[in-house]
Amino acid sequence: MTKRDLIVRISKETGLVQEDVQVVLQKSLDYITESLVRGENVEFRNFGVFEVRQRNARIGRNPNKPEHVVKIPACKVVKFKPGKEMKTLIENLPTS
């Protein structure tokens, strides 16, 4: 699902104009990003938590040339932890 798909679906289900839905969705995403940049966690009950984590520096290797060592520097990444309801729904998906 893309952002556009989400906008169209919300618009159809609520009767709101797509442009209005797009503005609200984009503002929501902007505020989430701003909070993460400030180092704050973003929590949506029953959905999940976004948080910034520090990834330690490590050594990487090219599988085709294992003797070639690459130093990967430490960096910050966004981690998502699904909420209880989402986790339950995903765990109960049929296997393919």
Q: Are 28 and 63 within one domain?
A: no
- For the chain, the average pLDDT equals 94
Q: Are 65 and 87 within one domain?
A: yes
Domain of 31? Answer: 1-40
**Distance, first Cα to last Cα, the chain:** 20
Do the beta carbons of residue 70 and residue 60 sit within 8 Å? yes
Q: Are 57 and 76 within one domain?
A: yes
pTM here is 0.80
Share of the chain above pLDDT 90, in %: 84
Q: Are 95 and 69 within one domain?
A: yes
Give me the number of domains the chain comprises.
Answer: 2
Question: pLDDT grade, residue 58 (50/70/90)?
Answer: very high
Q: Are 69 and 88 within one domain?
A: yes
Is the predicted pLDDT of residue 63 greater than 90, yes or no? no
Is the predicted pLDDT of residue 73 greater than 90, yes or no? yes
Mean per-residue pLDDT for 33-45? 96
- Rounded CA-CA distance 12/15 in Å is 5
Is the predicted pLDDT of residue 77 greater than 90, yes or no? yes
Q: Are 25 and 60 within one domain?
A: no
